[in-house]
Amino acid sequence: MSKILNIARLTFRDAVRSKFVGFMIIILILLIGILAVSIKGDGTLVGRLKILLNYTLNISGFFLGLMTLWISCGSVSREIENKQIYLLAVKPVYSAQIWLGKWLGLLLVNITLLAITVFIIYAATLWCKQVQGVTPDDIERAQNEVLIARRQTLPLAKDLDKEAGKRFDALVKTGQIPDNMPYKKTIREIKKQLSAEDLIVAPGKSKQWILRLPHIYAKNSRLRERKTGDKDTTATLRVSFLPSFRSPNPVTGAWIIGPVTNDTSLEPLTFNISEDHPSTHEFEIPFSAIPSDGSLAVTFENADRAASTTVIFDSNKPIELLIAEGKFEMNFLRTFLIMLCKLAALGAIGLTAGIFFSLPVATFSAYTLIVIALIVNYFSAVAQHDTAVSLHHSHGPTNRSVAMIVGESIASAAEIVVNPAMQFRPIAFLSEGLTVSWSLTGKAVLILIIIYCGTFCAAGSYCLSRREFDLLL
């Protein structure tokens, strides 16, 4: 262990003395300061804080990521090129100890630099509250919407398998789907189409969602009060939609919120709306109106065609229930830890690339790998949320070439490798005042540190041992 710590100390010292690191930190601090002063958002304190947190944290992650890849790629490759690796090759130091020592040194660098930038960003958010023109109402709203940690509850997912099977059978009977059309692919497209249709509510129609509060909130009111610090706590229902552009009518209708079962002891809440532009509404729901089992039925009843228009709901979050459960500072800490896990994974990639290649090639390879991962993740997300292609205009079976089959297999394998690392987006949660949970933080440590870094450690250590062996020969 002492050997690993000694290597980590030397790596940390060399990185801190680097002029490149100093230059990047100065640029980063200047950018954060400029953004804190210049960002106005939508004119409100809430809008300003959301954009400030989003921009500054993402820019910090980007610059620190570039710096981490550059330093990690050169950490080993320079020693190999300058023959300094000879000094380690003749000593009783295992290749895994060299890799872990350098990775740990890079991790210490990232902890130091990320802590500095996060502290500056936190100070900037506090400063925004003191700017001239900010009223106590603005501060209270910001503390309720951004500077807080709220648990998000989304509607229960609808089981589309049975409905997709029925529609498939109906389309086959009417001859709209050829017998030799791949079944799995067709069902997948039908489910996409059903999901798209489920987001549309025509005039005179209604749509219902079922929400289930976390068990701990539904059953234990004392814990609920202790967590939020407010005995008159309310949950917030947020809905997002846009009207059809084909009709001049506004969206007119009613939101009805009540128990799923016929519980006569609880009267449903009704909120009437009338909006003529894309809108996000928030409704306060007292916990006294929520059944003991934590189940809520949320229904939107669209008015008739004379008064309303077709409503299209957000595909990602048509509705969400938000419950205050923690402080902004702890949310910020968990965001910091997940960002650190990402930087640690980038350091592992750079270190391993530096063992395989020289510095220029290693840097190019590491950056290319990250770009490919981002592209794969982007197109994977587009494919998942793309609207369904209509099956009613099918003109026969699709002939798939060998190249298409091979390409799809490679793309699927790339998604399996890349997507687990790309699922962590704590900055988006933090800027919206949503809880970055400890379970998500633990998952980031498991996937990014233990699995990904462990894999790169094994590959890098093996390659380094082979290179050391070649040098001794």
State pLDDT tens for residues 216-266. Answer: 555 544 444 444 444 445 688 888 888 877 778 888 999 998 888 776 667
Tokens of 277: 């532009």
Exposure of 65 by Cβ count < 10 A (0-12 exposed, 13-18 middle, 19+ buried)? buried
β-bridge mates for residue 301, sequence order? 206, 254
CA distances from 438 to 159, 257, 334, 428, 449 (A): 29, 31, 7, 16, 15
- In degrees, to the nearest 5, what angle opens at C-alpha 36 toward C-alphas 31 and 42? 125
Cα 164 from Cα 190, distance rounded (Å):
6
Residue appearing with tokens 């610059």:
63
Tokens of 242: 């846009």
Is beta strand 200-201 parallel, antiparallel or unpaired with respect to 206-212? unpaired
- List, for the chain, all residue ranges whose pLDDT scores fall below the cut of 50: 220-232, 385-398, 469, 472-473
What fold does the segment set 198-326 form as a domain? Answer: Jelly Rolls (2.60.120)
88 CB neighbour count, 10 Å cutoff: 20
Tokens of 310: 């077709």
Per DSSP, the chain holds a count of helices (H) and strands (E) of: 16, 10
Amino acid identity, position 48 = R
Q: Pick from 132, 111, 80: which is nearest to 8 by CA?
A: 111
Domain parsing of the chain, residue ranges: 2-148+327-392+401-472, 198-326
395 CB neighbour count, 10 Å cutoff: 6
393 CB contacts (<8 Å, ≥6 apart)? none
Phi, psi of 145 (to 5 degrees): -115, -30
Coil, strand or helix: which one is 243?
strand
